[in-house]
């Protein structure tokens, strides 16, 4: 998918298809600058064409002239058209275009600009969606069926700010490329996407974008006394890795933002073995790690003037004669002891040592991203990621970034009243707090390792992948976190 900006009037352009907005009164956008002949011709098609009334609905019809087809998209009220409507419309437009194999597309951007949506937002969202919707899972198939059409979308801009649109396209492309990397890693089978493979991807990103990568092996992790992380890795023959990737393009005195991604490349549950049904989907338990790498790629492509550190504790959680057992007590890097009551609550065990490690960067903010709890899916389903933080400003910034990027999140409580549920008679803390408030007690567990900095936890168990016929990683919340970091550089 390629993009370009055209300032010529529509009458001077030609393409396989043009995208035109039709409002609730079956009228075209007045700002298009069409000749009366074009206007009358299109209006006659609209009268005959059955365009569904729902905002975002599309219909394609053949036309005569410089454009072979027209894709009508319904927008009931162009003045009350928001970012979610734009996302829905963009997805439906790209899907329709893909279905008829159009090569060249003209998209007059003025139609999508109003008080709620500016040039930057519209161009960013369209370019992101165009790449995202073109994503195909076929890397391990012998018959790689892909479209041979090289789509070119021309944003026709009239008097809009070309530089702003250019930046919007660049940001949208970069976010989509980061999402695609996250999806690629999540969709790979666990026999390929191992901790060592994740480490190789971190090295590649670091090389491509002049970042610094450091990969710690088991002996080095042992020297750091990450006993909690290592307890999870004990049941696997696959060596754990602690992955560090650093983007240092901000001012030297600017404190870094640290992103911590859960990297369980396969989660069988350990001795507390998971049920067999859908266990294959536990390859997605490293989507937090994949998100960190996707975001690092995005900020690398944009060369953001910011300091960001990515930390990934990566290992498998497997049953074995040497695996950690329910009732075992381990010592974390922080010195706190943990009674492991359920070995399938392992994500918090690897994250807590990474959160302690993050202290050495004296960070401005630490955000961990993890497919942490099934309880989060019960609470929020598959539409919103869960945000936990005691820092109101940080939580609000993340929620706003989610709204802006249409990668939604919802704030959950992190009250001290929940902490006693993690009490242990034998250690400083238990790794589970019972059935009630499972996603909250998991966040409470992590909070005990984050006392020295501002911190937020994002549980993506319900949003990182889809099941069923559309099974596959979603690339979320790369767009949320990318928007959060982009906004940081514009303050």
C-beta separation of 282 from 204 below 8 A: no
Task: Mark whether 435 is an active-site residue.
Answer: no
Token representation of residue 271: 């001795």
C-beta separation of 186 from 464 below 8 A: yes
How far apart CA 72 and CA 95 sit, in angstroms, is 13
* Catalytic, out of 69, 225, 248, 274: 274
Q: Is the dihedral of CA 169, 170, 173, 175 positive or negative?
A: negative
Residues 6+ apart with CB under 8 A from 32: 10, 20, 108, 110, 111
Element housing 11 (H / E): none
- Rg of the Cα atoms in the chain: 24
Quote the crossing angle between the two packed helices 119-133 and 83-100, to the nearest 10°: 40
What burial class does residue 159 get, using C-beta atoms within 10 Å of its C-beta: 0-12 exposed, 13-18 middle, 19+ buried?
A: exposed
How far apart CA 414 and CA 419 sit, in angstroms, is 9
Task: Mark whether 348 is an active-site residue.
Answer: yes
How far apart CA 236 and CA 318 sit, in angstroms, is 5
Residue whose C-alpha is closest to residue 460's, from 321, 325, 351? 351
Q: Would you call 31 helix, strand, or coil by DSSP? A: helix
Token representation of residue 373: 């709890």
Element housing 100 (H / E): helix 83-100
* Catalytic, out of 297, 348, 476, 488: 348
- How far does Cα 354 stand from its chain's mean position? 21
What burial class does residue 31 get, using C-beta atoms within 10 Å of its C-beta: 0-12 exposed, 13-18 middle, 19+ buried?
A: middle
Q: Give me the helices (H) in 101-243, please.
A: 119-133, 162-187, 195-208, 218-223, 227-233
Instruction: Tell me the CA distances in angstroms from 358 to 150, 222, 244, 291, 312, one per residue in order.
Output: 43, 17, 10, 17, 11
Instruction: Write out the catalytic residue numbers.
Output: 274, 348
């Amino acid at each position: 998918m390629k993009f370009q900006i055209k300032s010529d009037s529509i009458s001077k352009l030609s393409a396989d298809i043009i995208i035109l907005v039709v409002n609730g009164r079956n009228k075209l956008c007045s700002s298009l600058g069409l000749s009366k002949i074009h206007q009358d011709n299109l209006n006659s098609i609209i009268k005959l064409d059955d365009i569904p009334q729902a905002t975002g609905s599309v219909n394609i019809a053949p036309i005569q002239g410089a454009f072979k087809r027209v894709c009508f998209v319904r927008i009931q009220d162009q003045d009350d058209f928001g970012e979610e409507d734009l996302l829905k419309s963009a997805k439906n437009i790209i899907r329709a275009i893909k279905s008829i194999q159009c090569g060249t597309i003209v998209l007059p951007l003025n139609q999508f600009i109003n008080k709620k949506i500016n040039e930057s937002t519209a161009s960013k969202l369209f370019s992101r969606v165009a790449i995202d919707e073109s994503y195909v899972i076929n890397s391990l198939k012998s018959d790689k069926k892909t479209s041979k059409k090289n789509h070119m979308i021309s944003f026709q801009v009239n008097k809009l700010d070309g530089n702003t649109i250019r930046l919007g396209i660049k940001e949208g492309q970069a976010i989509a490329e980061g999402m695609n990397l996250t999806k690629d890693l999540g969709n790979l089978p666990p026999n390929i996407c191992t901790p060592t493979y994740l480490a190789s991807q971190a090295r590649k990103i670091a090389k491509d974008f002049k970042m610094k990568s450091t990969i710690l092996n088991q002996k080095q992790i042992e020297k750091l006394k990450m006993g909690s992380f290592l307890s999870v890795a004990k049941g696997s023959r696959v060596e754990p890795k602690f992955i560090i990737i650093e983007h240092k393009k901000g001012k030297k005195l600017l404190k870094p933002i640290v992103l911590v991604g859960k990297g369980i490349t396969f989660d069988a549950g350990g001795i507390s073995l998971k049920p067999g049904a859908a266990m294959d989907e536990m390859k997605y338990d490293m989507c937090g790690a994949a998100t960190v790498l996707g975001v690092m790629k995005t900020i690398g492509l944009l060369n953001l003037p910011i300091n960001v550190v990515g930390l990934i504790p990566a290992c498998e959680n497997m049953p074995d004669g040497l695996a950690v057992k329910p009732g075992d007590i381990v010592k974390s890097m922080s010195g706190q002891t943990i009674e492991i009551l359920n070995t399938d609550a392992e994500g918090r065990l690897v994250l807590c040592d990474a959160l302690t490690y993050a202290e050495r960067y004296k960070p401005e903010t630490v955000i961990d991203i993890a497919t942490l709890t099934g309880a989060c899916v019960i609470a929020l389903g598959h539409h919103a990621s869960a945000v936990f933080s005691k820092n109101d400003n940080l939580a609000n910034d993340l929620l706003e970034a989610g709204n802006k990027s249409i990668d939604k999140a919802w704030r959950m409580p992190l009250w001290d009243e929940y902490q006693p549920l993690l009490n242990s008679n034998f250690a400083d803390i238990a790794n589970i707090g019972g059935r009630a408030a499972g996603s909250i007690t998991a966040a409470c567990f992590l909070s005990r390792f984050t006392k020295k900095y501002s911190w937020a936890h994002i549980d993506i168990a319900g949003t990182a992948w889809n099941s069923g016929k559309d099974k596959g990683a979603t690339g979320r919340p790369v767009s949320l976190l990318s928007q959060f970091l982009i906004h940081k550089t514009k303050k």
